[in-house]
Chains A and B, each alone.
Chain A
């Protein structure tokens, strides 16, 4: 069977209905696309955040809320003039409510995307 042809999906902007969670930084934030799967040791999360340097990824787990934020690097755009664009550039932000059995979050990443492993004592569905 032939491999599936990839198509571009427009980036989804973060919509803050709850004004108490509005970002302090202005500018548009985008939702990173994620894969989350469960294994014996817990949950693993992969998030695509192109343009974000490893050191600019922040992951917090507080009160059952996992927050992922990536600040995009802009240095590469210095002294350039946009002549054709198909996407906009912005920071990434996403939150998930996680199971109370998740007791620790450990983030590590490769250049292409953030990988996050959520360690839990016993992750129940």
Chain B
């Protein structure tokens, strides 16, 4: 007996289940009045130092920030962030190279979102995998440290394209590594025309004001 194949249209987003959870999260965040920022970058780009500084400065301005930290195995990052005295929770991903919306949902199950003004989600250090997954965040930052090289945006265009703001970190080291600001900016604008760009150093505090102003303007 011969079989005749027939093709049926489906037109479904492959990540629709993740997107559904992310939509639910976005609604819950909006209802609770919490502004949610996610951070993606390579390992070692200064995400944790930047976030620790951000949490500390926001608390100093009487905001109520909190953070979720995705990490492959250790809770070192969460321990560092906890020094800011903001609520911090670790999401250990095991061998998974990115966070998914359901992991955020689970991690938030016993938190009262209404008690927060800002929630930061630090993704696993990785410039490839996190780009496909919506976490329900309002703003996605991609971090690039001056020590990584100006051509990183061209090597990982998708992650830069999926982010809203590019943050150049470790500005205090820029001179030592002869960081070419103009080249980095041009590369970022090439992969994501019009992308907002911040340059800062969590260590010296340089540039943190502009970042805090951006956040404060979003507080609900």
Q: Is the A/B pair a real complex?
A: no
Q: List the interface of chain A (C-beta within 8 A of B).
A: none
